[in-house]
Every structure is written in structure tokens, then in C-alpha cells.
Chains A and B, each alone.
Chain A
């Protein structure tokens, strides 16, 4: 315990250096988070300041009996699973292609990033006009090739709206998978393949016994990151359909946003946000625990 007094004086520096980052994190992450949790237990409608107050679990009770919350939850689930699965498959295929030697590979590798670096707002507007049911490019192409007779109002039908947005988001996000997996592929030492080949492993065997196990950490981390981002994304939905037609493209973030900024009901909106966070945390902790376990094996 008897530390020299000189040491004590020096100890101030690390704190001072960490303080700015910590202060900013507390101010812009933890305070709003704490406030959201407080709001979720309150009645807080912006234009009814007199009625603001603590109401316990009322908002949570409302959420559990709210059919719109239930359908938004299902949409969120469909949204995450379909996007992650297709982005992963498409991204993996792209990574394998880009890992081969061919002329123009450098250009292809940079071009593949275009969807990922395009701002979401532009992506959403672009797809919205491509899907347009009166003048849209996709309809015109389909009609030209004789695949359809009448234009399809992709974003105006409840049956096609969600699928159409999912396609747009898959397009936007698959390059992230491609690039991460490509980096992973390049890190696999050639000796492993050579050794496997000498042992008589076929191409398929090499893929499943060398490539996949070696890529596993990258795959798991990338899927985890993307799951969190995709679950929270709302800009593309807001711009392409605004949650419509009807409530057919409401996911939990969209519902929370619309409740807060169109309905001005910050209490209930916060409850939805908190519930989404809890769900995500459950998924993430379960997932991380699994990764750790598989790493130990």
C-alpha cells in the first residue's frame, strides 16, 4: 500500500486526458439514454406539458397490448433476418470472386464499395424513383422484356412494399460484408490450402474445412455489427414509404420515430425504443456468449 507520493501526483494526468472523451460520451450518449429510460416511465406528450409526469409501467402495458407494436416487432424481425441472410450470402459470393485473380480486379474492388459509400438518403431516393409505379425504371425494363403488362406499384401495395425496401437495403449493405470477408480471406495463409491439398482434400472440403473455420471470427463479428445497424436503421424506410402503405413497413425504430416526431408522444416513443434496445441486447449477449464458447472449443 505504501506508494511513493510522487506516483500519486502523476496519477492525475491519465484522468485529465480521459476526461474530454468521457465528458462527451456522458453528455451525448449516457445522458440521453438515461433520459429515454425516464421518459419511458412517463406520460410525456410534447404539446401537453401540464400532463407530464411519472406513470410507472403504463407505457409498457400499452405496448404489450398494442397490435401496432406487435406487427412492428414482426416486421423488424423479418427485416433483420432477410437482410442479414441475403447481404451475407451476396457479400460472401462477391468476396470469393474478388479474391480470385483477374484483370481489372482493383477497379472491381473499388467499384463494389459504391453502394456502401452512397449516403442513405440518396440510395433511398434513387430506389424510390426506380420502383416508381408510373415512370420507374424497373417497371419500364420489365415491360420492355415482356415480363409484365401493367406497371407494378411496388411501394404502393402492402404486398410488395416491404420486400422492395429490403432489396434496396441488401444492395446498400452487401459491400460491407464483401470487403470484411475479403480481408478475412486474404489473411488465410496459403500453406493451409497447400497442406489440405496434399492430404487429398477436394475443393469443397477445402472450402468447408479451411476457408469457413478460418473466416469464422470475421463472419461472426460482421454479422453482429450489421445486425445492430440494420435493426436500428430507419432512414431508408422513412424516405421510401414513411412506414406505409398503411402500417405495412413499420419497424420498431420507424414506429418510435413517428410516435415521437409526428405524434409528439415522447413517453410512448421512448418505451418502444427501450424495448427495442432490450431485445437487441438479448440477441447480442446471447450471440457474443456463443462466439466466446465456440472460440474456446
Chain B
């Protein structure tokens, strides 16, 4: 009897390992497209879009999975390394160099050439999303451009004009930094800087517009030129010397920066359309927007993007492309933006009655830029920039040391 139990147990264990691989339902007639995304509320737009897609494309099922943004990139990379990536996933432009280097992406040029919707995508988006090897791996999904948020009421109260240059910006930031009740403590700060992860966009606006360049036309770094180091120093000074940004700046992330705008702790900050609704709900007409100020060399603001990629490991490339291109078509893309709160990638969705936030976005379209196509960008954004910036704000390293460290990172 005991022997029987023992054998049964062993069989069960061995069996469960053997069948673990065969667990996936093999259906010949239905193709399943595994799709990863990362926004919060699928009810708003994703579920209706999936229903619409499945009705239009019998034989294809979408299997959506929401991944939290904080761990999205790491989960995606580990799923690729593990050999089981999704078929389609929402991706960022600055991940592209890594993904291409890993050989994880399927080039889409052949598919796109035969896709009717290609001419309805803004040309600038095709330009920005094409990889440096000349191939198109990404299907456009949504875009945003970072601009300057400012408190219109405070500007009016102090008789200030919206700053057009870096110098004007510093001037108004100083004037907006005020002690309102005369107790010797600053109540409002001119400019909310994001000093924690994700703040490189704030930094780029002032440093990459004033002489610093990751790579020039010849592929040489221009991060440690005297001009670049001075531009970085100018940015550090906003916090350390002019004190126009709150004392909490080094640890302020997205949540804190927006909370400070809402509570009136700061009078200006930089962000995109994604926070317009939230800010307008609290501040109403008091909040307005304009393109970022110009640096010594020109303008720079961050083109915030989101695309869909199809992974080379997919068994259903045709169905995957159908889904990715479906989401980039004008009608569907407009529905998608209801969830994302961002801007459609289609020419035919550009609305004539744009509000002030959308206007600031389109006014910035010409000079919006992206970080270089380099596999080191991801680490730069995720951990290097925040650590260096915080050290520079704390006076532990100089502007020169910070720029040298960034240069060394990109020279690897």
C-alpha cells in the first residue's frame, strides 16, 4: 500500500513538471496576441478597443496584461532574456537601442509599407521613432511634449510676462519666490524642479539647450565643453544659489512636483499634457502653459512618446501587427487617448479648437527632442542622472564632475 502511495506521489511530481510546458491551450484557428500595457484604467479605453478589434478581426484574441510602470522596463527585459516576451508591448523610445541590441524586436518596414494608415501619422513621429540603423521597429501610439506650466494669477499679480529666454526665466523665478506673510520663510518658490528619477527632462530643457550635447554630428561627446559645464552649473545654481526651487528638490518626484503646483508651493514647473486635467481641476484658470524658455543655443524640450513594439519571438506576427496598427489608426487612437490623456499620433485627429495646453504642446513640436539612441540611456535615466544631480545639488560633486561622469557613462 505504502509503495503505491509513494509511486503515485513521484508520478504526480514528475507529471506536473512534464505537463507544465503543455499547459498553454493550443488552438489552431484562434491566434492569441499577448499585449502588455501600463496605464491605470483599462475600462476607459482599452477594453472597448479590444472588443472592437476582436469584432473586426475574427480569429484573433487579445490577451492584455497591465504591468505597473515602476517595474515595466525590468519585467520586459527579463521576459526577453527568459525567452517569453509578450507579442506586442507598449514601449518607450529610449529603450529602443537596448531592445535592438538584444535582437528582441521585429522590423516592421515591410508591414508598414502595405499599411494604409501610414500617411496619417505625423511625419515628425516617423522621423523620431526610426532607429539609427534605418529600420522602423516601433508603431506610433501616443505623444506628448513637455512645456512650461505657470501660475497665470501670480504672473498677473506681479506684472510678469511669460519668460521666453533662460535669463527672463531666472528673473521671473526669483520674483515669484516670495515670503507671503512676512515671517521670514519662503512660502512660494518660483520653479519646481524634479530632482528625483525622471527629472532629466527638467535638466535637459536648460542644459541641452545651452551648449551641452550627448553626441554632435560627428558622434563626439560635447558634454564637458566649458559651455556645457557652465550650462549645468546654471541649472545647479537654480537650487543651490538662487534657491528658486523648494528645499525638497533633490527628492521630489513627479507626485511631489505636481502636488507643489496644486498647493501653490511652486509657481512654475515643467510637464506635459498628462497632468493638465489634474492641475486644471484644482487651479482652474489660474494655471496656464507655454513653450519652455530658450537656452543660449536654442530650444530643447523632451518629446515624450509611447509606441508599440512587436517582438521577434512572436509566433503570430501578422496578428500582432494588425493589433499594433489598429491602435495607430485615427479613430481608435482617439479612443486610446481617453485613457492616456495624451496626444493622438494622427494628422486627422489634430483639432482646430485646441486649448492652451494642447497649444503649448503643438507650439513646441518643432524643437522637441529625444535622448540619444544609446544602450546606456536607460541606466542614465533610471539611476545615474538622479544620483549625480542629487550629489551636485548637495554640493558633493561639482558641475564638471557631474558632466564628466555622464560623458564616461556614454563612452562605454
Contacts and interface: CB of A to CB of B under 8 A. Distances in A.
B5 interface: yes
Given A23-B13, A156-B250, A246-B391, A264 B378 contact: yes
Interface string A208-247: 0000000000000000000000000000000001111111
Interface residues of B, number: 48
B71 to A, nearest CB: 8
Contacts of A48: 101-102, 375
Interface in B246-301: 246-252, 256, 259-260, 263, 265
A262 interface: yes
A120 to B, nearest CB: 15
Main secondary structure of the interface of B (DSSP, over half): helix
B132 interface: no
Contacts of B197: 242
B354 interface: no
Interface in B181-203: 184-185, 195-197
Interface stretch (A77-85, A110-118, A145-153, A168-176): A145-153
A97 interface: no
B9 A20 contact: yes
B6 A133 contact: no
> Interface residues of A: mostly helix, strand, loop or mixed?
loop
Given A10-B2, A47-B77, A134-B260, A262 B391 contact: no
A158 B397 CA distance: 13
17 contacts: A9-B3, A13-B5, A16-B10, A20-B9, A23-B13, A47-B375, A47-B378, A133-B247, A134-B248, A151-B247, A153-B248, A156-B248, A244-B386, A246-B390, A262-B383, A264-B77, A264-B98
Interface string B1-33: 011011101100100000000000000000000
A157 interface: yes
B351 interface: no
Nearest to B265: A134
Contacts of B248: 132-134, 153, 155-156
Given A47-B101, A151-B247, A135 B393 contact: no
Interface of A: 9-10, 12-13, 15-17, 19-20, 23, 46-49, 132-135, 149-151, 153, 155-158, 161, 241-248, 258, 261-264
Nearest to B77: A46
Nearest to A136: B248
Contacts of B387: 243-244, 246-247
Nearest to A258: B383
B382 interface: yes
B408 interface: no
Given A13-B6, A23-B13, A156-B195, 18 more contacts: A9-B3, A12-B3, A15-B6, A19-B9, A19-B10, A46-B77, A46-B81, A47-B378, A49-B102, A153-B246, A153-B250, A158-B390, A158-B394, A242-B386, A247-B387, A247-B391, A261-B71, A264-B379
B396 interface: yes
Nearest to B252: A156
Contacts of B249: 156
Contacts of A261: 71, 74
A244 B6 contact: no
Contacts of B9: 16-17, 19-20
A246 B383 contact: no
Contacts of A46: 77-78, 81, 102
A245 B102 contact: no
Residue of B78, B247, B260 most packed against chain A (CB within 10 A): B247
B263 A156 contact: no
Given A49-B81, A242-B386, A264-B98, A134 B251 contact: no
Contacts of B59: none
A248 to B, nearest CB: 8
Contacts of A150: 185, 247
